[in-house]
Amino acid sequence: MAVDIALSKAQLECHRSNKGVRPAKLVKQALVTRGPLPLSARGKVMVGQKIRVLRGIIEMITHNPGVGKRSNSLLITEIGLPIVVLVFFVWVVWLVFSLVGDMARARGHNPWPWWLLSIAWSPFASIVILWLFFSVEESK
């Protein structure tokens, strides 16, 4: 059973006329006037019902119907873009550490100590140290 919280206009105007009323009081009043929320089998309010309640309260406070409803473009920018940025930064970190490993191998070193030094200190410092102090071994 869907629960939609909507106070009557008179109740809403009454709440707005009292300047010290906080949104938490509106939530409490909305739950009292409409009764308790239906419970799931475990006795907890279901997540979808909580979201509908919050949307109703936001609409009451702002007089802006549709607040809280998401469009596909908003989901793409809120979920897709951060994932793409995260993947990009992981790829850049992988490139830097693979460069440290390749430089260590080219100079005849085991890459593991250089990778650990890169993690503990800085991969760019490891690159500079390998470049300045160790020459590349010629392949036979």
**pLDDT tens sequence across 127-136:** 999 999 999 9
Distance CA 118, CA 124 (A): 8
SS3 per residue for 33-95: HHCCCCECCCCCECHHHHHHHHHHHHHHHHCCCCCCCCCHHHHHHHHHHHHHHHHHHHHHHHH
- Does 6 or 26 have the greater pLDDT score? 26
Contacts of residue 53, defined as CB under 8 A and 6 or more positions apart, other chains included, come to: 3, 5, 27, 30, 31, 37
How does residue 45 score in pLDDT terms, banded at 50, 70 and 90?
Answer: low
As a whole number, mean pLDDT of residues 74-91 equals: 86
How does residue 7 score in pLDDT terms, banded at 50, 70 and 90?
Answer: very low
17-42 per-position pLDDT tens digit: 555 455 555 555 555 555 554 545 55
Q: What is the pTM of this model?
A: 0.48
Q: Which two tokens mark 109?
A: 């070193």
Please report the pLDDT score of residue 22 as a whole number. 55
